[in-house]
Amino acid sequence: NGGQWVNEAFPGLVRESYGADIYYFFNHRKYSQGAAYSFSKLQKRSAGSMIAGLTISHQNVGLDFAKLPAGMEVELPDDRTVYRFKYNDYCFLLGYGYNWVFKPNWLFNISVLPSIGYKHCFRDNIDGYDDIFSVNIKGKMGLVHNHKKFFYGMCLKLDGHWYKSSNYSFFNSVESMSLIVGYRFDIF
């Protein structure tokens, strides 16, 4: 359509994504990921840490382009109208996180975690049953202000998955933004 944006509902998308991660922070005595994302600690000095871990995830993305509005099917690259990317990733993560305390009671965090590993594809995947190399990325950015027992935060997260075979290259991701206000209670 000449490079113009189209604002149409697309009922032909199916998206299922879930997973689990486990991390180890090499500089856990000085760096707290919880200070930026779970607000469980206070970080008073800037510090960073290498982060290593394991991630397991499941992706199931289906695209049925036969459900596109009339006239748009001429833009498809071939005669295929249904694409399915269905696989599990088993990966090793290695990245870095940094907490910058730029003013008293203010914290800015950025964490980037690329991962590599093994992608196990299911029989109804677009390329069929196959095992291929996996490359993915996770990223976080958070801004926190602590005022006495109150905390205010903003968090941006990205969980990106790249499917790359000899026939197809497809990147899908889940992005989120959270705004948080809370109060810390003294338990003891």
Residues 161/57, Cβ–Cβ less than 8 Å: yes
Residues 142/150, Cβ–Cβ less than 8 Å: no
What is the per-residue pLDDT across 74-120, written as a single tens digit (0 to 9) for each? 778 778 889 999 999 999 999 999 999 999 999 999 999 999 999 99
Query: Could you report how far apart the first and last alpha carbons of the chain are, in Å?
Result: 64
Q: Among 1-5, 89-93, 144-148, where is mean pLDDT lowest?
A: 1-5
CA dihedral in degrees (27, 29, 31, 33; nearest 10)? 100
pLDDT of residue 188: 57
Residues 174/164, Cβ–Cβ less than 8 Å: no
Closest by alpha carbon to 37, among 111, 101, 115? 111
- Buried b / exposed e across 50-78, counting CB within 10 Å, b at 16+? ebebebebbbbbbbebeebeeeeeeeeee
CA–CA separation, 54 and 39 (whole Å): 23
Query: Model confidence at 176, in pLDDT bands (50, 70, 90)?
Result: very high
Neighbours of 12 (CB within 10 A): 15
Across the chain, mean pLDDT equals 92
pLDDT of residue 1: 47
What is the per-residue pLDDT across 108-128, written as a single tens digit (0 to 9) for each? 999 999 999 999 999 999 998
